[in-house]
Amino acid sequence: MSSQHEAPAPAGDRKDLRADCASCFGLCCVALPFARSAGFAATKPAGRPCSNLREDFRCGIHDRLRDEGYPGCTVFDCFGAGQKVSQVTFGGTDWRRAPETARSMFEVFPVIRQLQELLWYITEALALTAARPVHEELRRALARIDGLTRGSAAAIAGLDVNALRGEVNALLLRAGELARAHVPGRTKNHRGADLVGAKLAGADLRGASLRGALLVAADLSGADLRDADLIGADLRDADLGGADLTGALFLTQAQLNGARGDAATVLPPALTRPAHW
């Protein structure tokens, strides 16, 4: 069990920012709602356990989620929030043994999830040598947010996460710009662009800003996405077959899990090739 007073993980170490389902009380399967759709075979309100959640807090259909109509579950990433809420915030006492904690636990989980995501991005930015001019500010932000994740449930529930995201985003934007500055030539700016279904096969997007871009079902097969800033880009059902994502900035596992790729897709070392590719 993690101590509430331990120091934040050093830059580059993301172990505590990866989901450890064995140390979690199935929080993503209870706290979060989902509606019957292409991503979910049924509707479930927030706070109600999924019908597939077992008594040991494991998913009963984990190895066949897509086949059973739950692909939405396969693209979710808590960034380690599940185990932190379960083992740190609530000290290893689960909501079944202590039902009086359930409401607070389920309220805190999505907040911690957002903070853990910010820690993931900050940790990545701290590993960027070119972003050294903002490293000190990033280190301060890392320590501050890590400390907030280790506060009381009441304190966490009362946080203004949007304000925190705004502060951190400004630092990440600067870090991304510094990292992309070494890319030769004029880089493309598609920040926030609507590129749904766009035909971008083989496109030269090296060093491009695709922050918050809508790339749903876009054809990015064979595209050069080296050093591109992909923070917040919607890659659901995007074709990344043969694309080169070497050095892609702020790309997450959840984004990859929602996309389509193949054995020729080149990924950053911190991420893994989704099983369904």
The pLDDT tens digits for 212-238 are 999 999 999 999 999 999 999 999 999
pLDDT tens digits for range 223-276: 999 999 999 999 999 999 999 999 999 999 999 999 999 999 999 998 999 988
* Claim to verify: residue 216 and residue 170 sit in the same structural domain: no
User: Rounded to an integer, what distance in angstroms lies between the CA atom of residue 62 and that of residue 111?
Assistant: 25
Q: Which of 138, 161, 179 is the last residue of a domain?
A: 179
60-89: average pLDDT: 95
Identify whether the C-beta of residue 249 lies closer than 8 Å to the C-beta of residue 179: yes
The sign of the CA dihedral 140, 145, 149, 154 is positive
- Is the pLDDT assigned to residue 28 strictly greater than 80? yes
- Please name the amino acid found at residue 193: A
- Show contacts of 133-137: CB within 8 Å, 24+ apart: 133/174, 133/178, 134/171, 134/174, 134/175, 134/178, 137/171
User: Rounded to an integer, what distance in angstroms lies between the CA atom of residue 134 and that of residue 126?
Assistant: 8
pLDDT tens digits for range 111-165: 999 999 999 999 999 999 999 999 999 999 999 999 999 999 999 999 999 999 9
On whether residue 1 sits in a domain, the answer given is no
On whether residue 265 sits in a domain, the answer given is yes
* Claim to verify: residue 134 and residue 164 sit in the same structural domain: yes
- Is the pLDDT assigned to residue 4 strictly greater than 70? no
Tokens coding 219 = 């054809």
Identify whether the C-beta of residue 238 lies closer than 8 Å to the C-beta of residue 210: no
Residue 28: give the domain boundaries: 15-32+76-179
pTM: 0.91
Q: Which of 140, 161, 179 is the last residue of a domain?
A: 179
* Claim to verify: residue 26 and residue 161 sit in the same structural domain: yes
* Claim to verify: residue 155 and residue 256 sit in the same structural domain: no
3-state class (DSSP) for residue 44: strand
On whether residue 219 sits in a domain, the answer given is yes
On whether residue 258 sits in a domain, the answer given is yes
Instruction: Give me the number of domains the chain comprises.
Output: 2
The residues, ordered by sequence, that sit 6+ positions from 32 with a Cβ below 8 Å of its Cβ are 46, 109, 110
188-202: average pLDDT: 97
* Claim to verify: residue 28 and residue 138 sit in the same structural domain: yes
Could you tell me the pLDDT band of residue 13, with boundaries at 50, 70 and 90? low
On whether residue 83 sits in a domain, the answer given is yes
- Please name the amino acid found at residue 163: A
Task: Give the CATH number for residue 215.
Answer: 2.160.20.80
pLDDT at 15: 84
Q: Which of 179, 195, 225 is the last residue of a domain?
A: 179
- Is the pLDDT assigned to residue 83 strictly greater than 80? yes
* Claim to verify: residue 81 and residue 206 sit in the same structural domain: no
